[in-house]
Structure 1
Amino acid sequence: MSSAETFEILKSNLNGLTSEEAKDRLREYGYNELSFKKINPFFRFLKHFNNPLIYVLIVAAIVTAFLGDIIDVVVIVGVVIVNASIGFIQEGKAESSIKALEEMMVQECTVLRDGEKVVVNSRLLVPGDMVLVESGTKIPADLRIIQSKNLHADEAPLTGESLPVHKNSKALSDSDLPLLIKNQWFSVEHSLPRVQVGEWW
């Protein structure tokens, strides 16, 4: 997709959005932030028993208990508890990963609003915003690159790639693989010292 097509889809342009457009889009799309509902650990653990297979195992344990086979009951109950524990631990790790991503998020960024450079809280970014970056900038959201010159990004947090990756604004073919996308920046990436973006800097 070309830059022009991107502008058309997002109803934006090189001058960015107006303040009113940004407010309307914030109401429509919400804040630029990761959101997840924190659940009490006890209830999060119990949630892992809410599964048809677990119901079958619990019924099997009850029937086996009535038949007096205590060893089988212990094994079945053990399997149910181990299964729930594994799910609970994995979900806890996922929550920790989300918290780590939140801590990596940039607090402020420079955008064009009403054709002027303005520093805004990154939570207030909306689709169609023109974000301006310079050397060493952390990326505040997933972005489509519109203008760049000699742009390189640190993609190590995303791909594990240790070398800087060249980025540009060229349109890509549909066959390009997601990790080969050179005209987009993702919020876990950083711009490197060789970056020079647009004509505004």
Structure 2
Amino acid sequence: MSNLEGLSSTEAAERLKEYGPNSLPEPQHRLLRLILRQFSGIFNVLLLAAAAVTFFLGETIDGAFILFFVFLGAALNVFQEYKSNAAADKLKSYFVRTITVRRDGRDQELPVADIVPGDILKLESGDIIPADAIVRQAKSFLVDETTFTGESIPVSKQASDDLTADAADGSRLLQGVVVISGNALAEVTATGTKTRLASISATASAVQAESELVKGVDRISTFILKITLITLLFVILANVLIDGKETDIPSLLIFAIALAVSVIPEALPLVLTFSLSRGALQFAKKDVIVKRLSSVQDLGSVNLICSDKTGTITENRLVHKNSYIVPESAFHPLILARLAAHDLEGPAPEPFDRATNEALSDEQRSEIAAFKLLEEEAFDPALRSNGAVVRKVDGLMLHIRRGSPEISLSRGWCIGSRWVDGLLMRNEPAGECLASAMMKAVAPDSEALYPLSIPSKIPPLRP
């Protein structure tokens, strides 16, 4: 376990040699593998065999044409895919990520690739976690784990000293997770290929499924090969039965092989390559890089997509519809919700904060501007809420608690309003509420508890 002053430069250099850079290994000999893949399909193997037989029969021009079609199609495929891979690599080179790391007792901005186990990361809103880590210090620290869980709701992380693999999820950070709000110090536990994200990536890339186009061409090739063998066998047997001992076996074999070769459509790979290249060109006009030509046909033949809903079919954002306003409340619920946001001064990063911020009127924004944030209360998983203490320019101080309406109501934080009592009797609508906000006015000589205000998806209750 490292202390919170971080590693020394010497220790970091030694660990970088031991563990390697914090990056995934780049595939080697990509061009060679790309070329060899062009001749791994059954159809191209069949064409090469046909060319060899044609040369053997003395038909040099025909054999040369077959080879021309085969190698031209392969060359076009290699050129297109290599160019696409090069374009993707060039795009990657533009994104040189850095992160704030504490080394030699001071904060430094370092490339993500230089991170090593034991480094202390200084994390703030907007940072992308560069390696697996454990939170050592945290303040109102929320992260987005959509990459791993599919859930867009921010997750609160707490400090821990357990750096083992059994560390609780509440303190573990995985590479690729995004910091939503707050700040924290986290100690790196795994980098490079040892991270959870790298493990998932390796598992996913271990099986390279062939495209449906390649499978279809292979099926056609297998069918042609079977027909060719049946034709050879039939011609030979028929001539032997008809001519008997006078059958000229060498001439018969040459004739049968020539007949079989004539059945093979030599230009098919070239036609397919031209057609797919045209599709790739159309995608390029839409700013899409096609790294493998056969994927063009796969995408075009899709009629059913099974996908995680959040952020794909939906926009992964909340929208404010309406508010259930308690008549006795002195403030609109949108104002209370925005005042309790994690970053009152800047843009609202959380989905709920963003939704309430977008719904505010100009008049409400002016009222919010009159308040100053004094203290934040981090999200409490047990209470399913967070809080804030704010002060208005006229001296009025408010203690706001924002969170689950079920928790707010069940704990009796706001009792005595017939509107609240009515809401408690309606379990189903209460479950539809997005959030509740209670506030307490704090003054030197007095203290008053205002009724509950609830931004909700349900219409107002009737008196």
Q: TM-score category by the smaller chain?
A: 0.5 to 0.7
Alignment partner, residue 48 of structure 1: 35
Aligned: 1:28 with 2:18: yes
- What residue is the counterpart of 1:93 in the other structure? 84
State how far apart, in whole Å, the 2-side matches of 1:93 and 1:166 are.
Answer: 37
Sort the Cα spacing of 1:35 and 1:46 in 2 relative to 1 into closer, same or farther, 3 A: closer
Deviation at 1:119, TM superposition (A): 0.7
| Counterpart-to-counterpart distance in 1, 2:89 and 2:173 | 22
- Distance change >3 Å, CA 23–CA 185, structure 1 → 2: same
TM-score by length of 2: 0.29
Residue 129 of structure 1 and its aligned partner are, at CA, apart by 1.1
2:182 counterpart of 1:195: yes
**Kept after mapping to 1: 8 A contact 2:38/2:74:** no
Whether the 8 Å CA contact 2:51–2:67 is kept in 1: the answer is yes
Q: CA deviation at 1:26?
A: 2.2
Q: Which residue of 1 aligns with 2:131?
A: 142
The corresponding residue for 2:423 is none
Q: Is the CA contact 1:135–1:196 (under 8 Å) kept in the aligned structure 2?
A: yes
Partner of 2:126: helix, strand, or coil?
A: coil
Counterpart position of 2:108: 119
Residue aligned with 2:106, SS: strand
CA distance, structure 1, for counterparts of residue 45 and residue 34 of structure 2 = 16
Does 2:95 match 1:104?
yes
Equivalence for 1:65: 55
Q: Which has the higher contact order (CA 8 A, sep 6+)?
A: 1
Answering whether residue 5 of structure 2 is matched by residue 18 of structure 1, we say: no
Instruction: Give TM-score scaled by structure 1 length.
Output: 0.57
Query: Quick one: which amino acid aligns to residue 182 of structure 2?
Result: V
Superposed counterparts of 1:143-182, under 5 Å: 143-147=132-136, 148=138, 149-153=140-144, 163=152, 165-166=154-155, 168=157
Sequence identity, in percent?
25
1:125 deviation in Å?
1.8
AA aligned to 1:112 is: R
1:45–1:84 contact (8 Å) kept in structure 2? no
Q: Distance in 1 between matches of 2:93 and 2:24?
A: 7
2: distance between equivalents of 1:52 and 1:181?
51
Write the deviation string for residues 79-118 of structure 1: whole angstroms up to 9, x where unpaired.
45434543553344344334433433323x222224x232
Q: Distance in 1 between matches of 2:93 and 2:170?
A: 24
Any conservation in 2 of the 1:154–1:191 contact (CA below 8 Å)? Answer: no
Residue of structure 2 in register with 1:133 after alignment:
123
C-alpha change, 1:61 and 1:37, in structure 2 (3 Å) is: same
CA distance in 1, matches of 2:85, 2:141: 36
Amino acid in structure 1 at the alignment position of 2:95: M
Partner of 2:135, secondary structure, is coil
Q: Which is greater in Rg?
A: 2
Query: 1:153–1:167: 8 Å Cα contact kept in structure 2?
Result: no
Deviation at 1:50, TM superposition (A): 7.6
- Retained in 2: the 8 A contact 1:29–1:126? yes
Greater shift in the superposed pair: 122-131 or 73-82 = 73-82
Q: Which amino acid in the other structure matches residue 84 of structure 2?
A: K
Report the Cα distance in structure 2 between the residues aligned to 1:70 and 1:154, rounded to whole angstroms. Answer: 62
Quick one: distance in 1 between partners of 2:182 and 2:87?
Answer: 32
Gaps of at least 5 residues in structure 1 are 1-6, 175-179
Q: Retained in 2: the 8 A contact 1:153–1:166?
A: yes
Tell me the amino acid that sits aligned with residue 166 of structure 1.
V
CA RMSD of aligned residues (A): 4.6
Q: Counterparts of 1:162 and 1:96 in 2: how far apart (Å)?
A: 32
Cα gap change, 1:117/1:173 in structure 2, threshold over 3 Å: closer, same or farther? closer
Separation of aligned partners in 2, 1:90 and 1:53: 16
Moved more, 117-126 or 54-63: 54-63
SS of match in other structure, 1:48: helix
- Aligned counterparts of 1:72 and 1:182: Cα–Cα separation in 2: 67
Q: Which runs of 5+ in 2 are unaligned?
A: 187-463
| Counterpart amino acid of residue 91 in structure 2 | A
Other structure's SS at 1:24 match: helix
